[in-house]
Chains A and B, each alone.
Chain A
């Protein structure tokens, strides 16, 4: 029952998702990169994580707008503190989930 259209869609999606994951890994790893590029790439993870997180914490709705009192943002405060003190992924995830769950269930 799977239509040709569906197969076309997931194949196409697969290809355009795979290429950006594959190209730099295969072609950049063969070259010695200039210093400025290494320095730039060194900052990319912090930048990506910041760019992924902040909208989750303060942006909501359709159309998108800023919402300062999202439970996500409030729960982020203890989560950041626990992450900075314990430097443990496990504790951070547990504290974050509990805080968020409590906020959602009894306050929001």
Chain B
């Protein structure tokens, strides 16, 4: 397959190269349908971040540029609070790096679905990988009824809503209630549902529980966000071990029964 260029993106999907305009707008609609819970969750968080950024001395333009360049909620919150305490660039950049290391795992997991996709498209896709877009796109790719257009729509819409709500917060956060009724729970509820989608057997439940418990414990001792990375790696490793232990004896039993029959 030829390498994609940026201007090809809107009219190409992973598996089909030539799709009609109708299918294309359908794909965008599917992407929008998948993106709305993310947007709903981003609005209160973005407003709160914009407000904090304004208090830390950033102009609305600076806040918007930061959201565009970085597009990572928790890292931006930390950066803003570090800025207001007078931290230097090196400390802020290193902290951002550690906080966002978890995307390494998400990007690796997504790489399974992009066997034939060109580098340019992947480079564009990588920009929009967040906890939220990953959790929304990954199970759909896995089911096989999701394409680049849908996934990139999720990325672009959530990116746009994020930038706009952080800028709105910087302009007039004090006039908008950042903690309006139940809004703070939108992303948590979304993660709960997406976790349910991931559960395809006992081993997934065990993995999620190990990850959750160890993340909670580690977070008590290590500040920042790195507990997500440590706990996920630990839990997936244990889960994979459990699966091979269970699968191997089952397979051996099946084979010996087959041998007996013949």
Contact = CB atoms under 8 A, between A and B. Distances in A.
A8 B239 CA distance: 41
B209 A50 contact: yes
B203 interface: yes
Interface residues of B, number: 95
Interface string B56-100: 001101100110011110010001000100000100111011001
Nearest to A96: B189
Interface string A84-108: 1001111011011111111011000
B19 interface: no
Chief secondary structure at chain B's binding surface = helix
Interface string A23-36: 11111110001001
Contact of B106 (A1, A44, A56, A96): A44
Chief secondary structure at chain A's binding surface = helix
Contacts of B204: 43, 46
Given A13-B75, A83-B192, A100-B185, A47 B112 contact: no
Interface residues of A, number: 74
B215 A92 contact: no
A43 B114 CA distance: 18
B9 interface: no
A98 B186 CA distance: 10
A59 B190 CA distance: 19
Contact of B62 (A6, A23, A27, A53): A6
Contact of B198 (A2, A13, A45): A45
Interface of A: 1-2, 5-6, 8-14, 16-18, 20-29, 33, 36, 38-59, 64-66, 72, 75-76, 79-80, 83-84, 87-90, 92-93, 95-102, 104-105
14 contacts: A12-B93, A13-B93, A17-B97, A26-B122, A39-B240, A45-B138, A48-B106, A50-B208, A50-B212, A51-B211, A83-B193, A83-B195, A97-B186, A99-B182
